Structure 1
Amino acid sequence: MVYLSGISLAILPENDRTLLIAQLRELKTQGVKIAFDSNYRPKLWESVAAAQAHYAELLQLVDLALVTFDDEQLLWGDMNEQATFDRLAQYGIHTIVVKQGSLGATVLQNGERTFVPTVAVEKVVDTTSAGDSFNAGFLNGYLLGKDVVTCCQQGNAVAGIVIQHKGAIIAKSATTHLKSQFEQSI
């Protein structure tokens, strides 16, 4: 599996974006799965139209979309979660996860929609990297073949720990207990 985000696209010069898409297209023909988090950051793009064009090209290759509703609303003007699902489903994406922070995440897979709530945490310190942390936990489960509800629960567990610390990088010791917890759900 290859995982990338909208930031990956945004920071590349135009020629390198083209090369990246071409390489992903080639990998896709070889059966490699592609996971994408839109992670839209307006300041990194020359225009909304440019971002939309590059995202649309990439989304045609995506198997797993891990998007945040706020980003989708900002980039595409989606009025609600359903609009996001409808738009992304048009690309033939197999599994779509729409993250909404403390409100939870909703997954659309094989036409079935499932809501997975978050678990309340004691004290939110810094939400920097909450989405990336969710993705890490989700992808761990996904790559091990777990069902999407378990994947979301793992994503919530990792994000829930990270947001209780300052900054995007936390001490490894803060998450060591998750390994045994995740292994129990195999």
Structure 2
Amino acid sequence: MAILPHGDQLKLLTIIQGLRERGVAIAFDSNYRPKLWDSQDATKEAYQLAYKATDIALVTFDDEQLLWQDTQPQDTIKRLHALGVKTVVVKLGAEGCLISESPKDVPIKVTTTPVETVVDSTSAGDSFNGGFLSCYLSGGSVSEACQQGNALARLVIQHHGAIIPKAITDTLSNPIKK
């Protein structure tokens, strides 16, 4: 969204809200990069509108902390549920992630296996999102999807660049396939 002029951001968000109202599930990753935005206020305005149209938030705590000054991941979860997000996944890097599917839930931690050497973390979040969505949209639970997201991100950060050989990603087993 940051690369779009303000008016186009609003048009996009209106389209997304319309899709959600028609039953399309919407996933959103804020991926906050301060240099891409005119101001924090402009970012907050756009993100609040985006979160109000979001079913599944796949956010990174470092980004949320930087923009919203959240002191702990639970603050992020509470804020996003208050905006209407149904499922909140807060990515915590080497610590895995926290998930909450309802404001009444106690967040569940999904751990990951840390890697010895991180070669390039450039697309760790996007890799997580891809693994998560692939599993979730194939019928996996949020917890299974987080495990798949963690597994893919763990593979990607051990290589240079965002695209790794297919032979490596083919080694991932889908936890929902029997």
Same fold? TM cut 0.5: yes
Task: Verify the 8 A CA contact 2:89 2:98 in the aligned structure 1.
Answer: yes
Matched to 2:164, the amino acid is I
Match of 1:156 in 2: 150
Say yes or no: does 1:136 pair with 2:138: no
Contact 2:140/2:175, CA 8 A, preserved across alignment:
no
Matched, 1:25 2:11: no
The answer to whether the 8 Å contact 2:98/2:109 transfers is: yes
1-side partners of 2:151 and 2:138: how far apart?
17
Query: In 1, Cα distance between the equivalents of 2:175 and 2:171?
Result: 10
CA distance in 1, matches of 2:157, 2:90: 19
Q: Where does 1:93-172 land on structure 2 (aligned, <5 Å)?
A: 93-110=85-102, 111-112=104-105, 113-172=107-166
Conserved 8 A contact 2:144-2:175: no
Q: CA deviation at 1:129?
A: 0.5
For these two proteins, the number of residue pairs brought into alignment is 176
Report the alpha carbon displacement of residue 114 of structure 1 after superposing the two structures with TM.
0.9
Which residue number corresponds to residue 50 of structure 2? 58
User: 1:118-163: per-residue Cα shift (whole Å, max 9, x none)?
Assistant: 1122432111110110111111111112111111110011001000
Structure 1 length normalisation: TM-score?
0.90
Corresponding position: 1:91 with 2:68: no
* DSSP 3-state at the match of 2:171: helix
Give the deviation of 1:183 after TM superposition: 5.8
Q: Which sections of structure 1, spanning at least 5 residues, go unmatched?
A: 1-8
TM score, norm. by length of structure 2? 0.94
Q: 2:30 aligns with which of 11, 20, 38?
A: 38
Give the structure with the larger strand fraction.
Answer: 1
**Which stretches of structure 1, 4 residues or longer, exceed 2 Å deviation after superposition?**
120-123, 183-186
Tell me by how many angstroms 1:57 deviates. 1.0
Deviation for aligned residue 1:20: 0.4
Counterparts of 2:114 and 2:64, CA distance in 1: 24
